[in-house]
Amino acid sequence: MFLGTTPDDVYRNRFRLARFARFLGIVDEIIASKGSCRIIDIGGRMEHWAALSDLWRDRKIEVTLTNLEAENITEPGFESLAADARDLSRFETNAFDLVYSNSVIEHVGQWADQKKMASEARRVAPRHFIQTPNYWFPLEPHFRTPFIHWLPEPWRIAIVRFRACGFYPKAKNVDEARAILDDAKLLDFAAMQALFPDSLIEREKVLLLTKSLIAIR
């Protein structure tokens, strides 16, 4: 992936704080029923949880972070494992109580890859909370550039070759420009419904516009 270093405030913006509070409501339901909650964070990193530690630290949770590369983690109750979001076969069906995934499914590849991730997320836990940016929101969140994701591909290639955009550096050539554009495939409401047919798809709004979509089961 080409994503650069995450800005210090990316995990503490008001949308993510409200979203995480919504997620913790589901965690609390599970804890009330079972006494604890086993969570798998697909595509997760410890920095995300560390930035929000004041919100979850008093809860009895166990969190397994999965990403393409494992991290060294010392936080009690957390482990990090190398795993592909499209293939979680190392985990049994319903091995966890709850799946959490934040802005990951748009990065796993084409539609077929997104279907594989969704299928695995639905398999490894009975509950899930899976967020992704909305294709029809005018500001593309990875490029931090309005309307770029709606432009014809040749225009987008020209833009990323001309300057750095958001988390992405300026592309050195056409090959790198295409790789940058392929890094995120945004989804809309209908696509999320197709990927998660037994889930509630919530709309996270800014004024009247849907900024993000969240599949909740």
pLDDT tens digits for range 167-178: 999 999 999 999
User: The CATH number of 14-137+185-216 is which of 3.40.50.150, 3.30.70.260, 2.60.40.10, 3.30.379.10?
Assistant: 3.40.50.150
Lookup: tokens for 182: 């392929």
Q: How do the domains of the chain map onto residue ranges?
A: 14-137+185-216, 143-182
Report yes or no on whether pTM surpasses 0.75: yes
Tell me, what's the pLDDT at 16?
A: 85
Residue 15's pLDDT band (cuts 50, 70, 90): confident
Tell me, what's the pLDDT at 13?
A: 79
The 8 Å CB, 24+ separation contacts for 155-160 are 156/181, 157/181
